[in-house]
Amino acid sequence: MNRGFMDRSGVVLPLLLICLLALTALATVAIHAARQEIIIADAATRLLQARLSAEGGIRQAGGVVTSDRLLALRERAPEDVLERATPTMGSVVVRGHRLPADFVLFEGVGSPSGGRGGEVRLGRLVWVLDPHRIVSSFSSTLVHGGSLTLSGGMVDGGEVARAPEDWPTQVCSGHWAALDSIFPPGGMAASTIARPDDPSPTDLGNLDLPHLLALADLVAEGSLTPRPILDAGACLAGDSANWGAPSSPEGSCGPLVRLVISPTSLHLASGEGQGVLVVAGNLDLTDGMRLSGIVLVGGNLRLAGESRIDGLVRVGGDVRIEGGSEVSGSGCAALRALESPVFQRSFPVSDGSWVGGF
Amino acid sequence: MRGVTLVELLVATLLVFLIAGSMATIVSTQNRASLWVRDESEGMETVRTVRVVLGAELRHGLEGRDWWATGGDTVTVRAFRGMAEVCSLGAEPTEFVVLYRGIRQPNPDKDSVLVLSQEGRWETRGLERIEMQEGGCPGVHEESQKWTLDRAVGRAVFVRIFERGSYHLADGAFRYRSGLGGRQPLTPQHIDDARSHLGASEGGVDVVVELERRSDARWRPDPVPDHWRIWPAERP
């Protein structure tokens, strides 16, 4: 049966459907692209969160984890030393890996907030000052690079594992076991010429002079008379002239130890102080000046007028000890000097400490 | 017989043209919108890739040691790919046993090492040979490796492994060149080279990425250059 023209179905509907299909496809592509963009942007944000969490955690660990905690880590047995999480900026776990020679690798594993997304690992290499290793790096009580002249003075190196003569025994009671293991029976040599493999005279472990200068409690120059300063029996630690009281180790200024740096030369007269003293130039001690701790001198050292150092001394140049002055070896005084709070933390490797790509 | 008049035919033709024209306009607009979304998405992805990659490679390195910016469009890098804890020193002063971790295995053909000595100084050496070792690191179950370097090194504490590479804003894309190989694109070709820039600044890197203007899209806004600085995590 023939169908009439008006009976035939039209082409408009299929055409319309095809157009709608094309429109839907295009819209879907556009929506998909926009959605992908949002997902990728979100992933990039999370990656940044994780990376910053790792970096922030490592920085925080460097500030709050003490050197004792890090020195207690064992090699190839990493331990978590810090955990931190914030609702908006992700979370981090910092592990401490103990390496040889008192280095530690902080490994931060950062995750984005909400836990969705990958982890980012970042590391930072730090060095920790081990007081025992510092003390054991001295081959004698007085290590000197130039000549040694004794003119009515002396260097006493024997029985270095002892306290200064006028200190009560209990001041050093916590150090005896370590000192016995560091120093051979019978003590150490009074003085030796510096060997080629000895540290630079003004280095304290891996901390060189610029680094020490940045850490210093005090920067000293010229001629000074440090002394313990008390107010109503309380030690005024904030006074820059107060370098502690080695003559009264159990007094209120007895525990005060300083890290004092002199970028030039220094003259100390008729006073007392304790801690670590680093002098880039020459050091003169006169008029009964008394120091206790570790003394590092880049230039020459002169003691005169019954001055005295109890502890360990390293000098780059000549040493002259005269007029009843004395350098007396004391491992205990040296270890006490390293109890300064500035050494109770970790120090990033100065020539590039961050480690990525693992 | 029923038929159609000329008027009916004209009206129908007119309607078909009107509908078809409208549909064509809508499809064309949709198509342009879709292309715009795609281009914008690729543009943003391009900028993001430059940000993420350069940030990861440069932020924790040191200018002059780990990377160098040259020519306004190139940053040459030591691309660090892994690290190793030194377990023990070998029989020769060029050898040591390590525990390695990295984003890929070390390759003596293209990798060099940065060795941290006990004195806290980094020294650069070539990596000559790698041998796998069972039980080379006491107390650790992981497999260790014995590495041989081209020259002796002091008492090693820690080692980082790297390949030489360079990042470029060139030929319309952000590209990476590994060693002496070709420059491979990491992004689509949307970058306007002449207006984009890579340069050292205050220990970090100043980056300007401007996407190219599409000649076939008069109605789109001009691209705005992205300008940022990668600050070093460690100030020199």
Q: What is the pLDDT of residues B109-150, one digit of tens each?
A: 999 999 999 888 999 999 999 999 887 887 777 889 999 999
ipTM here: 0.86
| Better pLDDT: A165 or A3 | A165
- Say yes or no for a CB contact (<8 Å) between A357 and B160: yes
Give the angle A226-A227-A228 at the CA atoms, nearest 5°: 140
Q: Looking at the predicted structure, is the pLDDT value of residue B27 above 60? A: yes
In this predicted model, what pLDDT tens digit does every residue of A38-88 receive, in sequence order? 888 888 888 889 999 999 999 999 999 999 999 999 988 899 999 988 877
Task: Output the CA–CA distances (angstroms, integers) from residue B220 to A174, A357, B36, B37, in the order listed.
Answer: 77, 40, 8, 11
**B234: closest chain A residue by CA:** A352
- Say yes or no for a CB contact (<8 Å) between B56 and A356: yes
- Among B47, B54, B51, residue whose Cα is nearest residue B165: B54
* Burial B204-220, CB ≥16 within 10 A → b, else e: bbebebbbbeeeeeeee
B34 touches chain A (CB under 8 A): yes
- CB-neighbour burial class of residue A225 (10 A; exposed 0-12, middle 13-18, buried 19+): middle
Q: In percent, how much of chain A has pLDDT > 70?
A: 94
pLDDT at position A125:
97
In this predicted model, what pLDDT tens digit does every residue of A235-288 receive, in sequence order? 999 999 999 999 999 999 999 999 999 999 999 999 999 999 999 999 999 999
Report B:103-142 residues touching A (Cβ under 8 A): 103, 116, 118-122, 137-140
- Say yes or no for a CB contact (<8 Å) between A206 and B19: no
| Better pLDDT: B219 or B72 | B72
- Say yes or no for a CB contact (<8 Å) between A29 and B83: no
pLDDT at position B236:
54
Averaged pLDDT score across all residues of chain A: 89
Going by pLDDT thresholds of 50, 70 and 90, the confidence category of residue A31 is confident
Q: Looking at the predicted structure, is the pLDDT value of residue B221 above 80? A: no
Residue from B25, B157, B235 to probe the interface with A (highest A Cβ count within 10 Å) = B157
Going by pLDDT thresholds of 50, 70 and 90, the confidence category of residue A202 is very high
A353 touches chain B (CB under 8 A): yes
- Say yes or no for a CB contact (<8 Å) between B27 and A19: yes
To the question of pTM greater than 0.95 for the whole model, the response is no
pLDDT at position A15:
74
Q: Which of chain A's residues have a Cβ under 8 Å away from the Cβ of B1?
A: 4
Going by pLDDT thresholds of 50, 70 and 90, the confidence category of residue B2 is low
| Better pLDDT: B114 or B88 | B114
In this predicted model, what pLDDT tens digit does every residue of A119-146 receive, in sequence order? 899 999 999 999 999 998 898 999 999 9
pLDDT at position A1:
47
Find out whether A219 and A263 touch, Cβ atoms under 8 Å.
Answer: yes
**A35: closest chain B residue by CA:** B41
pLDDT at position A58:
96
DSSP sequence for A137-204 = T-SEEEEESS-EEEEB-EEE-SS-SS--TTS-GGGGGGGHHHHHHHSPTT--EEEEEPPTTSPPTT-B
Q: Which of chain B's residues have a Cβ under 8 Å away from the Cβ of A357?
A: 79-83, 102-103, 160, 162
- Say yes or no for a CB contact (<8 Å) between A51 and B56: yes
B45 touches chain A (CB under 8 A): yes
Q: Which of chain A's residues have a Cβ under 8 Å away from the Cβ of B116?
A: 103, 125, 349
- Say yes or no for a CB contact (<8 Å) between A37 and B87: no
Q: Looking at the predicted structure, is the pLDDT value of residue B188 above 60? A: yes
Report A:67-96 residues touching B (Cβ under 8 A): 76-77
- Say yes or no for a CB contact (<8 Å) between B160 and A16: no
